[in-house]
Structure 1
Amino acid sequence: MNDIATSTLFLILIVLIFVSGYFSGSETGMMSVNRYKLRHLAQGGDKGAKRVSAMLDRPDRLIGLILIGNNLVNIAASAIATIIGMRLYGDYGIALATVVLTLVILIFAEVTPKTIAALHPEKVAYPSSLLLSPLMKIFYPIVATVNFITNNLMRLLGINPKAAGRDTLSAEELRTVVHEAGSLIPSRHQEMLVSILDLEKVTVDDIMIPRNEIVAIDVNDELPAIIRQLNHMQHTLILLYRGEIDDAIGFLHARDILRLLTRTHVDPEKAAIVRAARDIYFIPEGTPLNVQLLKFQRNKERIGLVVDEYGDIQGLVTLEDILEEIVGEFTTNIGGQSHEHMEKHADGSFIVEGTVNLRDLNRELKISLPIDGPKTLNGLIIEEFGDIPEHPMCIRISGYAIEIVSVNDNRIEKVRVQPQTKKRRKLLSKDNKT
């Protein structure tokens, strides 16, 4: 070293600091790169992404290589800085070189390159892999030795170095990713993706048409009455039952109805109508929508009756009902509920039927009434009030003013709901303060 000029030592020191910055930035860039974007690009044939992905499959080796190079360069830089300091300032140069080199490495070889790499990981990781890949082959024996020692030390501490697998996302984490995608995914598509994730949280009980609203035909009725109902039906599939809806016979398709009514000039017999009915597909209550959607697909079905543990019919669910949970309301609705049971008034309030489904009501009015208990507005009011109201009254649930307009026997028929806007809430809070 004594034969090397001081200017040359300065040049070597600058190169070492630059190399140290390269290793520091490479480490941050490689470890900060978006793994999911990386896999997408690698599957698309991007060579840089393939190199980085292959190196990240063994992060212990990658970190070992980078740290070996970084420490080797920093130690060499420290030795050269000490020689330069002693040549220029004697014994005081050792302390001066330590302080100056620490600041220089901190600024130019640590903070700056790592910050740049953290902000632009792909732009740093892909080019860095061009040099790190051959370096891994050259220094593999040293890297393997270091990894062998460190992995055994981790095992002594009760840590399995191979326990960490590929990054995976839970449903909640994936929901956060979708929300944070911003303009990269249209808001409409974001809502659909989140709705798909929410299918496992919703059961058929939440969306089914209640048994008292199922449009069906009693085959015990007189034949003229049955023919009249068939002629005026607006649904593709009609449920046939005998006496009580729990004694369901099957579903009659519109094509079969048309065939029966046009085959001859005379009305068809009851027996012919019953024979034309198709088998009923039964759905256990409490079935999650994601499971039922798969069952509909596997069984080639579009409609089914929800039954409880005793076999009693609780409601009706169609494939369209499940799809509407994902994409929103269609132009037609087999259930004939939701917005068709709502009437908007000039004051911004809505008159709705007590049998309206709470999920549909929340979706239509952009409100948040509790849905973890009763499924209908009628059931929610009765649960909150603790009894069946005998006359019109007003009640507040979850901050929403709900006026009971009419009651019939043991059922609430009409309810006025006043959705609270942000402006109205501010006014109410000001009034409360005054």
Structure 2
Amino acid sequence: MSLDWSLIGPALMIIGLLMLSAFFSGSETSLTATSRARILQLERDKNPDAARVNLLISDGEGLLGSLLLGNNLVNIAASMLTGQLFARMLGGEHSVWIATAVMTALVLVFAEVMPKTYALSNPERFALFVSRPVLVIVRVFAPIVGAVQAIVRGVLRLLGARVEGPVLSAHDELRGTIALHHEDGGVVKNDRDMLGGVLDLRELTVDDIMVHRKSIHMIDVERPAAEIAQEALHSPHTRLPLYQGEPDNIIGVLHARDLARAMHDNDGDPSTIDIRAIVREPWFVPETTEVLDQLNAFREKREHFALVVDEYGALMGLVTLEDILEEIVGAIEDEHDIAVEGIKPEAESTWLVDGVVPIRDLNRALDWHLPDEEAVTVAGLVIHEARTIPERGQVFHFHGVRFEVVERRRNQITQLRVSASPD
């Protein structure tokens, strides 16, 4: 059987078109799957291919349109040539169906699955390799792609579809990426919590993290200096608000270092110290201040302590630099802290939780997702959801968690038993 050389040319053209199809398919997958953060770092390291990749993915719609246009052109051309080739080889009406089956198998294996599989496993390497020819293709096809985009957007608008803007903000994308890597085992829980804490700073206000006024250790400035000094030196806190007359009337903040210096100057006799002379001016901030803004304010003023007031000037609580840092790294305890066990494991998947424990701390400790938009503490969440102040022994099911009121003092829930439970 002699070789028909007239069939070699079309066969080689089909193979070449399949290779081009594989190039378009792999390029599309690699350029959409590549890590923009890694490519940006490579660009900063003066990698010219990385600069081209960033330029390409910055216009995702134009890139996708050009690659799809090229891929469809070569696939259609390859299909037409295959049909003609099989018609010449086999003749008859069945040649078209045979050509379709053969071409489908070739495109699926060699022009779609194989290049996309490799591109998914090596997205950055593939994207850097094809960046130069793809950039040329995008520029050549730009007029056609632009016209196609205009038609597509016009049709989508007529159908009432939204086509402008991303669905997720940059912060939401970061959160999703961190959560994904945590689920895949690439980021441990502590690192995930720290990264999430940094992203949360702009969404929190100081009233979300402050120490409530009920828990503030304050001292009456009218008391004898010796009593004030003794109480301050026995306190676990280095800064103590001083009030005159009533607790809302804060006149200054006593720092343990200033007190120690004054006692040294007075030969250790606290009774002769002029307390008013060594107190520092109190710094008041609104309760609506964003935590990130407060962190920047602490840095600018070189202060670590601020008193929080509401819109009427009433004292609500206090916030410290340590409170903000704990939102990022978790609880910070030193040798002077009083350990408070706010969350105690009682049985398997059951915990005793103090009512004043912040919802964010409970979520972080147990890896839950209780909402904290309407309440700050666990007790506040139960009261908000129950729409009443529960009695001891009452049980509620909210957000996939079972809450049982264990202790109540007056109108305050002091302890709850919590466990995971379906709604």
Letter matched to residue 395 of structure 2: R
| Structure 2 counterparts to residues 128-277 of structure 1, below 5 A | 128-133=130-135, 135-136=136-137, 142-147=140-145, 149-151=147-149, 153=151, 157=155, 169-182=169-182, 183-265=185-267, 267=269, 272-277=274-279
User: 1:33 offset after TM fit, Å?
Assistant: 2.8
Structure 2 match to 1:432: none
Which has the higher mean CA deviation after the structures are superposed, 180-189 or 341-350? 341-350
- Cα 1:306–1:60 change in 2 (3 A) is closer
Deviations 1:116-156 (A, max 9, x none): 256233343332234434x54xx95x534424543554575
Distance 1:149 1:116 in 2: 31
Q: What TM-score do you get using the length of structure 1 for normalisation?
A: 0.75
User: 1:191 offset after TM fit, Å?
Assistant: 1.0
User: 1:317 offset after TM fit, Å?
Assistant: 1.5
- Cα 1:357–1:296 change in 2 (3 A) is same
Check whether the contact 1:48–1:126 (CA below 8 A) recurs between aligned residues. Answer: yes
User: 1:382 offset after TM fit, Å?
Assistant: 7.2
Distance 1:369 1:59 in 2: 36
Structure 1 match to 2:311: 309
- Cα 1:376–1:179 change in 2 (3 A) is closer
- Cα 1:266–1:258 change in 2 (3 A) is closer
Structure 1 segments unaligned to the other structure (5+ residues): 430-434
Letter matched to residue 117 of structure 2: I
Check whether the contact 1:260–1:273 (CA below 8 A) recurs between aligned residues. Answer: no
- Is the partner of 2:247 in helix, strand or coil? strand
- Is the partner of 2:394 in helix, strand or coil? strand
Letter matched to residue 44 of structure 2: Q
- Is the partner of 1:394 in helix, strand or coil? coil
Distance 1:416 1:224 in 2: 37
Q: Does 1:359 align with 2:362?
A: no
- Cα 1:349–1:274 change in 2 (3 A) is farther
Check whether the contact 1:203–1:289 (CA below 8 A) recurs between aligned residues. Answer: yes
Check whether the contact 1:204–1:286 (CA below 8 A) recurs between aligned residues. Answer: yes
Distance 2:87 2:349 in 1: 84
Deviations 1:357-405 (A, max 9, x none): 443873697488875556556767777594697xxx4232442333227
Greater Rg over alpha carbons, structure = 1
Distance 1:60 1:342 in 2: 50
Check whether the contact 1:358–1:376 (CA below 8 A) recurs between aligned residues. Answer: yes
Letter matched to residue 39 of structure 1: L
- Cα 1:231–1:95 change in 2 (3 A) is closer
Structure 2 segments unaligned to the other structure (5+ residues): 158-162
Q: What TM-score do you get using the length of structure 2 for normalisation?
A: 0.77
User: 1:282 offset after TM fit, Å?
Assistant: 0.7
Deviations 1:251-308 (A, max 9, x none): 1212210121111237467783202111111121243323322332233221111112
Which has the higher mean CA deviation after the structures are superposed, 164-173 or 20-29? 164-173
Check whether the contact 2:353–2:418 (CA below 8 A) recurs between aligned residues. Answer: no
User: 1:239 offset after TM fit, Å?
Assistant: 1.5
User: 1:187 offset after TM fit, Å?
Assistant: 2.4
Which has the higher mean CA deviation after the structures are superposed, 61-70 or 396-405? 61-70
Distance 1:95 1:345 in 2: 73
Letter matched to residue 218 of structure 2: A
Distance 2:214 2:295 in 1: 24
Check whether the contact 1:85–1:96 (CA below 8 A) recurs between aligned residues. Answer: no
Distance 2:340 2:143 in 1: 68
Choose from 402, 413, 419 the match for 2:405. Answer: 402
- Cα 1:119–1:255 change in 2 (3 A) is same
Check whether the contact 1:239–1:250 (CA below 8 A) recurs between aligned residues. Answer: yes
Distance 1:25 1:375 in 2: 49
% identical aligned pairs: 29
- Cα 1:92–1:301 change in 2 (3 A) is same
Letter matched to residue 143 of structure 1: F
Deviations 1:215-241 (A, max 9, x none): 222121133323432443332112222
Which has the higher mean CA deviation after the structures are superposed, 362-371 or 124-133? 362-371
- Is the partner of 1:181 in helix, strand or coil? helix
Check whether the contact 2:233–2:256 (CA below 8 A) recurs between aligned residues. Answer: no
